[in-house]
Structure 1
Amino acid sequence: MPRDRCTACDITPSSSVLMDPMPESPTTDSRASRRHSRTVKRRTRRIWAWSIAGALVLIVGSFAWVGVRGFLATHELQAAMPLATSMKKHLLAQESEAAVDDGEKLAAHAAEAAALTGDPVWRVVELIPGLGPNLTVVRELAASVDDVASGAVVPLAELSSTIELNDFAPAGGRVDLQPMIDAGPSVSAAADTLAAATERVRAVAGEPVVGPLADARSELTDLLVETSATLDALDNAVELVPAMLGVDGPRNYVLLFQNNAELRSTGGIAGALALIHTDQGGFGLAQQASSQDFPRFDPPVVDLPIDTLALYGDNTARWIQDVNFTPQFPLAASIAREMWRLQFGLEADGVIATDPVMLSYLLEATGPVELPTGDVLTSENAVQLLLLEAYQRYSDPADQDAFFAAAASSVFNALASGSVEPSKLIQALITGGEEHRILIWNAREDEQSVLADTTLAGDLPDSTATAEAFGVYFNDATGSKMDNFLDVTLDAGSVTCRNDGRPNFELHVTLTNTAPGDAATSLPGYITGGGNFGTAPGNIKTTVAVYGYPGSFNLGVRSNGAEAPYHPAVEADYTLSKVTVELAPGESQKFEFGFLGNDPKRTGIDTFVTPMINPLVTGQLDIDCESALF
């Protein structure tokens, strides 16, 4: 009998295991997981540790990198700065080889400083709060010095090796214009480079930095501003002088010789005049005249702007002596030009004004000059002789005018002859320009536009990004030469007290009559005025006009602790206060002018002042919100 089939017996043990494996025990799985987790954590900790260590190394390395390079860059800049001064001395001494050597060394130091502070690591560290601004300022200072060295210093040093100062000096009544023309492109490029570098440094002027770095920034800024102004003047000169000396054809200029003993806003009355003729570099006095040669023009020679007419009256356009009541020299010069045309039939190409103090500066370059009278005019006695002794010696105005004309022509001829030291001549022109004792107006608009932003233009002052500009101008109302005895002091300052941040400005002007007590009888009538214009002999009567920049608000005038009578007015959009004061010998009076600024960023104060016999230096006025008068 067949055996029954058992289906279960068909499943072998091995098949059974494969189809239904036994699971691992819970204990075994947990241990493996923990071992894996610990491994991952150990690896993560190692990664973080190495990352942190790497970051620390990177940070420390970056700081070390920047620190070392910053130290080296500072050393390079410190080595470069004295070379600028040394090079300037060599240039003035006409030592071109030494100047070139200094220029190349300066450029090498500057380039190294710029390279040390211009790498990517440095720029990254600049992002760190607190430290960053210091690094930014160092980099900008180094880059600015490098720009100036490569774009201005080296080219000018190399230029000095081919052109000497003597090339610009007159000889035989003529100036060789070609060296000046050749120098033009290099000087212009250098001036542009210096202007750009100055703005670059000014752009980081507000960055908060450590004290020594702030001092270095300030020192470099002052140096760049001063050098930029000088180079701008040179750039303007090489552009304008050839044209004004007739490189393209003959020119004629009216020369106003301003007499500071009888003040006008731009310096003094035009007591003596001349016509300068130029052609192809040659120049000479073509004609001389005095104020006595001009009549009272009726009607006025020009229609004055309504604000100028209201402020100074129509005598500004009637009398040659009064054209510069207004401090706007371009306006005054255009009036003088028209008076010359009406009187002598020649329309000049421009007007130049100067004064006896400027003449004394020029005498430093020419040396003593003998006059037809036998007097020897020197830099030491020129002002005293021309502004005081001449009036004591000559009672007839015609004789006085002849003396002035002789002095002017003698100095002019000494300059034209070539008996002049070029470096001293340049220094005289720089000083005279800074003190506004040389003013030039050109009737040709393209040439006048070159002058427009210079001290030579004699226009109303412009404010800067950080400083408000004020003009302080004096006009004699005595009708005499008593301003020989007028002493003036000027102090200016500002304070911010308002919530809107607009600053208050104060200008304190003190006038003193230093004439002797017996001036009425001991001084000639031509000096005292003799009472002919309503002022007692010996007294000094003066108008003082203080101009605030357009947009400023006139806060009034005080004197002796009380409000003073004054004339509030506007000229060419400039807010101003005008006062009149009469002083007996020994008397003094102080006026305090107040203005409210219109820009919280402009808290500094710059002053532009009538050129007087003695240069007037503005003192610092310290005021606070409690002591402010306005």
Structure 2
Amino acid sequence: MAFAGVLLLVVVVAFGCWLGIKAFDAKSNLEQARLNAQQAKDALLQGNTDEATRRADNAASHAQSARDATHSLPWDVTAAIPWLGTPFRTGQQISDVVLGLTADVLQPSARTGTALSPDRLLQGNRVDVQLLRDQEPTLSELAEASARLDADAQSIGDPGYLSVLEDARTQLQGQTADVASLLENTALASRLAPVMMGADGPRTYFMAFQTNAEARGTGGLLGGFGILRFNDGAPSVDTLATNRELVRASAPVDLGREFADQYGFANPFTDFRNSNLSSHFPYAAQIWKSMWEQESAMGIDGVIALDPIALSYILGAAGSVTMPDGEVVTRDNVVELTESTAYSRFPTDQLARKQYLQDIASEVVKKMTGPIQSPRALLDALGKAVSERRISVWSSSPEEQAMLEETPLAHVIPDDPAPYAEVVLNNLGGNKMDYYLDRGIEYAADGCSGDTRLSTVTIRLTNDTPQQPLPDFVAGAPGIAPEIPIRVPSGTNVASVKLLATKGATLVSALASGQKVPVITSAERGHPSFEVQVAIPPGKSGEISFRLSEPTSPGIPRVPIQPLVDNVIPKVSVPECSS
């Protein structure tokens, strides 16, 4: 009897050791698989396909070892035990997803990335649209596989009493969501880019240059424009003009009663300066398209907008340009030249200033559309500009626009109930004071226990105007319309500050520098809109706080950032609620 007891004890201890060894193998291999998978994804984003392939292979090897450990005999036996086996079942699910992620997504993605390396995709100044189109079926299959794995990851069970597995589950879910989003956008690009870049015939686009020293909803005032053409992936620009070409232009388009009620006072269809007060880019795009078609009788297939900061990134990749007078325009000075220096250099001569800015635009466009020495650097620069919302795209084709609206390029006000806080500034002074504006944005909300919750959106604005005098054109305040005069000291930043909130949200209170202020309440595309108007003297700061009651809607909270001169990283403290 004693011998049987000893034998049983030995078996239990041996089983425990065996299980412990498998647990150690699973943990170490899962950690290595996750690390190598992240490095593979980063390498793919950087266009380093050799490194991506190596990391993906390493990840797959570790993932297979982890799965073998979590599906071994001692692990299977323990996982079958009620309650005690809960974290072991979670470990099996985690290892299954990691193996699928590495073997079914990352390894084939690395192989596809080799086929679509920047050096192959960009030849001189031409994009190989056929190569991109040929890879579309593979990219779509990868996107579907990553979406399935992401769904599997989100459904991994609660590990119960083992918190370390809870952390691993959360990290894996974030990783699969990132990969699924990346591959979905890549597959969309492979479907959309060839046709928009002239694979099936020439395309023509209105290319807007936004001057975000004077804030508008989509970024900045329309300062100038060009006509960009694509033919079988090769770009060319045959028209560059200042905004004076649109002084008498009008846009006979109907954007609905809501738009007219909210923005009609500023004559957006006949005054290009106020054509993009809304942050919903398709509105501005349709107005600009219509204005140019009325002026030129030229058909337009879409609209692309970018700002001087995006141009600085492009110059960083393509190289500097030299003006006819010898002045060198680089990634380091193009923003200051176009948004500050030009106004001090030509304080009263608007024609000379506009010509100077057009000359810079002309040289930069030549560089952009000429041969590219480093395709990888250019793609990195464009990616950075897109991530900061500094490039916007709209297509006149409803099918193409629907696909664009699934990407970060569309800049639409979304039609869904997820938590939302978009802060939109419009310059009311008719000046260039937003070059000196710094913003801070914070969105905080209570938990998910009730049908509604309190939330607060706080906007901090600082007017960093320099001590030296500025030209009246920069620091004066003529207003955005002659019938709306503004009288403030020189250098004052006068702004409309609008919050587009979560659908169904209601305003509890609005404070400016701690004092209650009147609020203009309206709605845009289903989102409640709350607007206050502020004046911030030179060297001063102001704080606007909107306190809301909003639905505890499911979804990831979003705080889209208006692309102005400063680069804002919002602080978001909003719990993500489940459905």
Say yes or no: TM over 0.5: yes
Structure 1 residues 221, 363: CA separation in 2 closer, same or farther (over 3 Å shift)?
farther
Q: Given the alignment of the two structures, is residue 481 of structure 1 paired with residue 428 of structure 2, yes or no? A: no
**d(CA) in 2 for partners of 1:303, 1:55:** 83
Compute the displacement of 1:150 (Å): 1.7
Q: Given the alignment of the two structures, is residue 199 of structure 1 paired with residue 151 of structure 2, yes or no? A: yes
Return 5+ residue gaps in structure 2 as ranges. 480-484
1:313 partner SS = helix
* 1:406-421 equivalences in 2 (<5 Å): 406-421=359-374
Which stretch shows the higher mean deviation, 345-354 or 583-592? 583-592
Cross-structure match for 1:15:
none
Amino acid at match of 2:434: D
Which stretch shows the higher mean deviation, 126-135 or 349-358? 126-135
Cross-structure match for 1:330:
282
Cross-structure match for 1:350:
302
2:101 partner SS = helix
Q: Given the alignment of the two structures, is residue 320 of structure 1 paired with residue 272 of structure 2, yes or no? A: yes
* Pairing partner for 1:293 from 236, 245, 248: 245
* Pairing partner for 2:470 from 512, 523, 527: 523
1:286 partner SS = strand
**d(CA) in 1 for partners of 2:102, 2:464:** 51
Amino acid at match of 1:424: A
Contact 1:92-1:423 within 8 A present in 2 as well: no
Contact 1:169-1:418 within 8 A present in 2 as well: no
Q: Deviations over 1:278-336 (max 9, x none)?
A: 111221002122221113556x5222322222222252222222221111111221121
Which stretch shows the higher mean deviation, 80-89 or 396-405? 80-89
Q: Deviations over 1:583-628 (max 9, x none)?
A: 22123221111222212656x64311211101011135699xxxxx
* 1:422-501 equivalences in 2 (<5 Å): 422-461=375-414, 468-496=419-447, 500=450
Structure 1 residues 325, 56: CA separation in 2 closer, same or farther (over 3 Å shift)?
farther
* 1:114-129 equivalences in 2 (<5 Å): 114-118=67-71, 122=75, 125-126=78-79
* Pairing partner for 1:387 from 321, 326, 339: 339
Structure 1 residues 100, 311: CA separation in 2 closer, same or farther (over 3 Å shift)?
same
Aligned residues: 566
Contact 2:430-2:477 within 8 A present in 1 as well: no
1:582 partner SS = strand
**d(CA) in 1 for partners of 2:401, 2:104:** 27
Two-structure CA RMSD over aligned residues (Å): 3.1
Contact 1:494-1:605 within 8 A present in 2 as well: no
Contact 1:368-1:378 within 8 A present in 2 as well: yes
Amino acid at match of 1:481: K
Amino acid at match of 1:589: G
**d(CA) in 1 for partners of 2:552, 2:151:** 20
Compute the displacement of 1:418 (Å): 2.2
**d(CA) in 1 for partners of 2:113, 2:573:** 43
Cross-structure match for 2:569:
617
Compute the displacement of 1:430 (Å): 1.9
**d(CA) in 1 for partners of 2:159, 2:272:** 52
* Pairing partner for 1:274 from 217, 226, 234: 226
**d(CA) in 1 for partners of 2:503, 2:136:** 35
**d(CA) in 1 for partners of 2:161, 2:558:** 26
Query: TM-score if structure 1 supplies the norm length?
Result: 0.82
1:261 partner SS = strand
**d(CA) in 1 for partners of 2:408, 2:325:** 35
Amino acid at match of 1:418: P
Which stretch shows the higher mean deviation, 85-94 or 436-445? 85-94
Contact 1:476-1:542 within 8 A present in 2 as well: yes
Q: Deviations over 1:351-400 (max 9, x none)?
A: 11110011111122112222334321212112111110011112333333
**d(CA) in 2 for partners of 1:261, 1:223:** 37
**d(CA) in 1 for partners of 2:416, 2:87:** 29
2:567 partner SS = coil
Cross-structure match for 2:538:
585
**d(CA) in 1 for partners of 2:282, 2:36:** 40
**d(CA) in 2 for partners of 1:359, 1:594:** 37
Q: Given the alignment of the two structures, is residue 573 of structure 1 paired with residue 526 of structure 2, yes or no? A: yes
Amino acid at match of 2:549: L
* Pairing partner for 2:184 from 232, 235, 240: 232
Structure 1 residues 463, 386: CA separation in 2 closer, same or farther (over 3 Å shift)?
same
Contact 2:87-2:158 within 8 A present in 1 as well: no
**d(CA) in 2 for partners of 1:205, 1:295:** 62
Contact 2:94-2:156 within 8 A present in 1 as well: no
Compute the displacement of 1:573 (Å): 0.7
**d(CA) in 1 for partners of 2:270, 2:422:** 25
Contact 1:463-1:469 within 8 A present in 2 as well: no
Which stretch shows the higher mean deviation, 200-209 or 321-330? 200-209
2:199 partner SS = coil
Which stretch shows the higher mean deviation, 55-64 or 156-165? 55-64
Amino acid at match of 1:598: P
**d(CA) in 2 for partners of 1:526, 1:570:** 33
**d(CA) in 2 for partners of 1:486, 1:570:** 27
Return 5+ residue gaps in structure 1 as ranges. 1-45, 624-630
Structure 1 residues 343, 219: CA separation in 2 closer, same or farther (over 3 Å shift)?
same
2:201 partner SS = coil
1:303 partner SS = coil
Contact 1:69-1:116 within 8 A present in 2 as well: yes
Which stretch shows the higher mean deviation, 143-152 or 404-413? 404-413
Name which one, 1 or 2, has greater alpha-carbon Rg.
Answer: 1
Structure 1 residues 146, 409: CA separation in 2 closer, same or farther (over 3 Å shift)?
farther
Cross-structure match for 2:455:
505
* Pairing partner for 2:255 from 301, 304, 318: 304
Structure 1 residues 73, 462: CA separation in 2 closer, same or farther (over 3 Å shift)?
farther
Compute the displacement of 1:162 (Å): 4.1
Compute the displacement of 1:545 (Å): 0.9
Q: Deviations over 1:128-151 (max 9, x none)?
A: 565555334323332222122122
Structure 1 residues 54, 568: CA separation in 2 closer, same or farther (over 3 Å shift)?
farther
1:610 partner SS = coil
